[in-house]
Amino acid sequence: MLRACELNSVSEEDYVDLGRAGLGSCLLGGLPDWVVSYSARLVRFINLERTKLPEEILRHNLEEKRKYFADICLEVERSDAEDQAEGVYNQRLQNLAVTLDKVRYVMRCIFGDPKQAPPPLEKLTPEETVSLLWKGDGSLVDELLQCMSPYMDADILNDLRSKVRARDPSDSDDIQKALQKSLLWLRDEVRSLPCTYKYRHDAAADLIHVYAYTKSFFRVRNMMHLLLHQFTLVHLT
């Protein structure tokens, strides 16, 4: 979804993959580019699943039937697995087609022309990511230090704050790499803090590790004003 929103365009490959899945202009017409692009990515996943699913279904079915039956015909089981996988594939495409039709209806109600619907996700710039995680009010690090403050010695906490400020990655030539390096440093620093019977910091360190290796951060576009604008209260008589 994020990649489709970021590109907000449809490639020839997208149209080809959608057409092969039976999703043509009658279904896609009028939808914004990011929706069509996202749909193409879903179709590619569904196609990939279709190639992998028969073996997974076969393995599961064999495991279950061997608990109760001694004689099993492998060819029959393989054929059944193919049929089940094909059923899943068709159901996935049908669900996607129904969903796209409903999405078009909702967008028409809100925007008039569905093509005017903006992408709902916006990828954060490196500078915005630093503000979100490291130095902004309410950032990850700010929240972390606030949560730790009631349980830590004031001198240790102030020393940690000073070290955090010294490792601000904002001025680096490669902000993203510098931010990851700073987060990994903070992970190790938090993990090495002394523990007592009241608190320990393992979980916080693990959470910082997850953030450090997250490749993309994004925000959800605020569309509440559009939804409110479309809402009309009618009094019943």
Kindly report, residue by residue over 113-122, the tens digit of the pLDDT: 999 999 999 9
Q: What is the structure's pLDDT at 225?
A: 53
In a domain, 90, yes or no: yes
Residue that finishes a domain, picked among 106, 122, 138: 122
- The whole domain housing 90 covers 2-122
Q: Are residues 106 and 7 in the same domain?
A: yes
Q: What is the structure's pLDDT at 67?
A: 85
Q: Are residues 15 and 76 in the same domain?
A: yes
Q: Are residues 131 and 192 in the same domain?
A: yes
Q: Are residues 9 and 94 in the same domain?
A: yes
Counting the structural domains of the chain, the total is 2
Q: Are residues 165 and 63 in the same domain?
A: no
Q: Are residues 31 and 93 in the same domain?
A: yes
In a domain, 40, yes or no: yes
pLDDT tops 60 at residue 231: no
Residue with structure tokens 């709902």? 120
DSSP 16-70: HHHHHTT--HHHHTT--HHHHHHHHHHHHHHHHHHHHHHHHHHHHHHHHHTTT-S
State the DSSP H helix or E strand holding residue 232, giving kind and residue range, or none if neither. Answer: none
Structure tokens at 90: 């068709």
Average pLDDT score over residue span 209-226: 83
Structure tokens at 172: 């680096």
pLDDT tops 90 at residue 195: no
Q: What is the structure's pLDDT at 232?
A: 57
Average pLDDT score over residue span 112-133: 92
Average pLDDT score over residue span 45-73: 91
Q: What is the mean pLDDT of the chain?
A: 89
Region of 121 on the Ramachandran plot (φ > 0 left; ψ -120 to 50 alpha; else beta): beta
In a domain, 234, yes or no: no
Q: Are residues 112 and 142 in the same domain?
A: no
Q: What is the pTM of this model?
A: 0.77
Q: Are residues 117 and 133 in the same domain?
A: no
Rounded Cα–Cα distance for residues 230 and 13 (Å): 36
Give me the amino acid identity at 228.
Answer: L
In a domain, 170, yes or no: yes
Q: At what angle do helices 140-148 and 154-166 cross, to 10 degrees?
A: 170
* Burial class of residue 6, CB neighbours in 10 A (0-12, 13-18, 19+): middle
Q: Are residues 11 and 77 in the same domain?
A: yes
Q: What is the structure's pLDDT at 79?
A: 93
Q: Are residues 142 and 198 in the same domain?
A: yes
Q: What is the structure's pLDDT at 234?
A: 63
Q: Are residues 84 and 145 in the same domain?
A: no
Position 157 confidence tier, pLDDT thresholds 50, 70, 90: confident
Q: Are residues 13 and 108 in the same domain?
A: yes
Residue that finishes a domain, picked among 122, 148, 173: 122
Rounded Cα–Cα distance for residues 237 and 234 (Å): 9
Residue that finishes a domain, picked among 73, 107, 122: 122
Neighbours of 75 (CB within 10 A): 7
